[in-house]
A and B are shown apart, each in its own frame.
Chain A
Amino acid sequence: MSAQAGPGRVLLRVDTGACCRSGACSLVAPDLFDQGDDGKVLLKTPHPPADLIEAAEEAADYCPVSAIQLEILPE
């Protein structure tokens, strides 16, 4: 996956059904993810700014159940 995409070109998606409430995403990328009182993931924005794309990729890799997906949108 490339970290070269410009602002708005990456779509961040979370599968809240799959989320196992580990908190790993909010720990590694607190600017992009939060947790509800029940621990479930809350996505702060589906369009991470360019300087947070690396953090988004890291969060996706840290998610123990692969509930976070990054999609590169066509130009």
Chain B
Amino acid sequence: MAEQLPAYPMTDRTCPYDPPAGLLDLQRQAPLVKVQLPTGPAWLVTSYDAARTLLDDPRMSSDMGREGFPTLYRQKMRPVLKGSFMRMDGEEHAFYRTMLAGEFSVKRVAAMRPEIEQACDQLLDEMIRQGPPANLHESYGIPVSSSSICRFLGVPYEDAEFFTTHLEALFDPHRAGAPERIANSKAALSAYLDELVTRKQKEPGDDMISRLVADYLVPGKVDRPELLLTSYLLLAAGHETTANMITTGTAALLMHPEQFALVRDEPKLLRGAVEELLRYLSIFQFGITRIATEDIRVGDQTVAAGEGIIVSPLLGNRDESVYDDPHTLDVRRRGRPHLSFGHGPHLCVGHTLARIELQIAFERLLTRLPDLRLAVTESEIPFRTATLVFGTIDLPVTWGERTEGASA
């Protein structure tokens, strides 16, 4: 009789920041191990090197419409819609990435720096004016992220509360009534974006949706549902993740005060500190799903054509053959690139924006509130371990008299 496979995903963390013990056990079976998903067996990639190799292997398909594609939840398989570029391969995927690449170029994103800084400072002004304590997620994480993505896409910030509420529903698939809630929120967001595109056709602005309307929709290179879906995916993928990183990253720094002090006192550590927080937290915790289109040899195992594969950035980022002392948060670490944005042609299209947002958000926060600390004990911080995105969305913080004025 076949041995029972370990069930995946695993969500039972003992220390909030460390992968579940059962998952670390699987890591010993590097580079990959068979696990049982709710929908059937699949391979879990546990090593850093195999993760990088496989994510850049054209025999690995992202097409969810393929028979046997691994899914973390029981859900009906649907064909991949036009515009759903994260679920496409090869040339088809490259078409959308080309469409978006100029928008997310380092130059374009860096040009947003002054606006993001200003948004951060205004939020901190307000926190300081109201006085401690504050829930950092509501006062800072969420609004920093939503104001940046709004500005970038060309979505009016006045509407942020509307889409924030709907986006939150998408990331909590375990909540009661989730399937209907998710369907309703998707419909509401789609209707909203449809109206926005109409407005951008009439009154274009200096933003991504306006440019895509002019350069792609009007000349007929993409159709309207395609543009709506692409915009929706960018909004959904970029909002909650960055907000969560700001809040959960701050929680990690506050729970490691010596690391907080290092980043605060040595601004040159900032870029590396953001990379280390991305590695250490690995908030997109369950992994990147693929299906093999041909037999692929990995180590001394063969992934057969048609078998599902999940690449775990959480385990790759804690691979001790790549990172010394991988379970320690060390903002001075200068190591290999982490896997939190993925790897290969599907590398997160928004990584440039996310990185710059995070650098600015932490820099302003630690400069303006240099003695920021937790307003609750560590064990009182509610970490979400079963959601697609790991972290906390409730972080009560406080600070003393020592606040710095906004930079000019």
- Size range of the interface on A? 10 to 19
Size of the chain B interface, CB-CB below 8 angstroms = 22
A45 on the B face (CB < 8 A): no
A48 on the B face (CB < 8 A): no
Q: Check A21/B352 contact, CB under 8 A, given A61-B336, A64-B342, A64-B347.
A: no
A69 on the B face (CB < 8 A): no
A39 on the B face (CB < 8 A): yes
B302 on the A face (CB < 8 A): no
B198 on the A face (CB < 8 A): no
A3 on the B face (CB < 8 A): no
A16 on the B face (CB < 8 A): no
Chain A residues with Cβ below 8 Å from B97 are 20-21
Q: Which listed segment binds A: B100-108, B257-265, B307-315? A: B100-108
Q: Is the CB of B355 within 8 A of A27?
A: yes
Chain B residues with Cβ below 8 Å from A22 are 101, 347, 349, 351
A49 on the B face (CB < 8 A): no
Q: Is the CB of B347 within 8 A of A24?
A: yes
Q: Is the CB of B101 within 8 A of A62?
A: no
Chain A residues with Cβ below 8 Å from B345 are 20, 64-65
Chain A nearest Cβ from B276, distance in angstroms: 14
B50 on the A face (CB < 8 A): no
A66 on the B face (CB < 8 A): yes
Contact of B105 among A20, A35, A62, A66 (CB under 8 A): A35
Q: Check A21/B342 contact, CB under 8 A, given A26-B106, A30-B106, A65-B56.
A: no
Q: Is the CB of A39 within 8 A of B344?
A: no
CA of A2 to CA of B355 in the docked complex: distance in angstroms?
28
CA of A64 to CA of B348 in the docked complex: distance in angstroms?
10
Q: Check A66/B351 contact, CB under 8 A, given A21-B97, A61-B337.
A: no
Q: Check A39/B56 contact, CB under 8 A, given A20-B94, A62-B337, A65-B344.
A: no
B343 on the A face (CB < 8 A): yes
Contact of A23 among B56, B106, B343 (CB under 8 A): B106
Q: Check A39/B355 contact, CB under 8 A, given A61-B337, A65-B56, A65-B344.
A: no
Q: Is the CB of B347 within 8 A of A39?
A: no
Q: Mark A28-66, 1 if CB is under 8 A from B, else 0.
A: 001000110111100000000000000000000110111
Chain A nearest Cβ from B49, distance in angstroms: 12
Chain A residues with Cβ below 8 Å from B105 are 21, 23, 26, 35, 37, 39
Chain A nearest Cβ from B155, distance in angstroms: 22
Chain B nearest Cβ from A20, distance in angstroms: 5
CA of A15 to CA of B55 in the docked complex: distance in angstroms?
19
Q: Is the CB of A39 within 8 A of B351?
A: no
CA of A38 to CA of B108 in the docked complex: distance in angstroms?
11
Chain B residues with Cβ below 8 Å from A66 are 56
Q: Is the CB of B342 within 8 A of A37?
A: no
Q: Is the CB of B352 within 8 A of A20?
A: no
Chain B residues with Cβ below 8 Å from A24 are 337, 347, 351
Q: Is the CB of B102 within 8 A of A38?
A: yes
B165 on the A face (CB < 8 A): no
Q: Mark B85-129, 1 if CB is under 8 A from A, else 0.
A: 000000000100110011011110000000000000000000000
Chain B residues with Cβ below 8 Å from A23 are 101, 104-106, 351-352
Q: Is the CB of A35 within 8 A of B337?
A: no
Chain B residues with Cβ below 8 Å from A65 are 56, 344-345
- When C-beta atoms are compared, the residue in chain A nearest to B109 turns out to be A23
Q: Which residues of B contact A (CB under 8 A)?
A: 55-56, 94, 97-98, 101-102, 104-107, 336-337, 342-345, 347, 349, 351-352, 355
Additional 11 contacts, C-beta under 8 A, given A22-B349, A61-B336, A65-B56 = A20-B94, A20-B347, A21-B98, A21-B105, A23-B352, A35-B106, A38-B98, A38-B102, A39-B105, A61-B337, A64-B344
A and B contact pairs by CB, cutoff 8 A, 17 listed: A20-B345, A21-B97, A21-B98, A21-B101, A22-B347, A22-B349, A24-B337, A24-B347, A26-B105, A27-B352, A34-B107, A35-B101, A38-B98, A40-B101, A64-B342, A65-B56, A65-B344
Q: Nearest 10 CB-CB pairs, A to B?
A: A39-B101, A21-B101, A64-B347, A26-B106, A35-B105, A20-B345, A23-B106, A62-B337, A39-B102, A22-B347
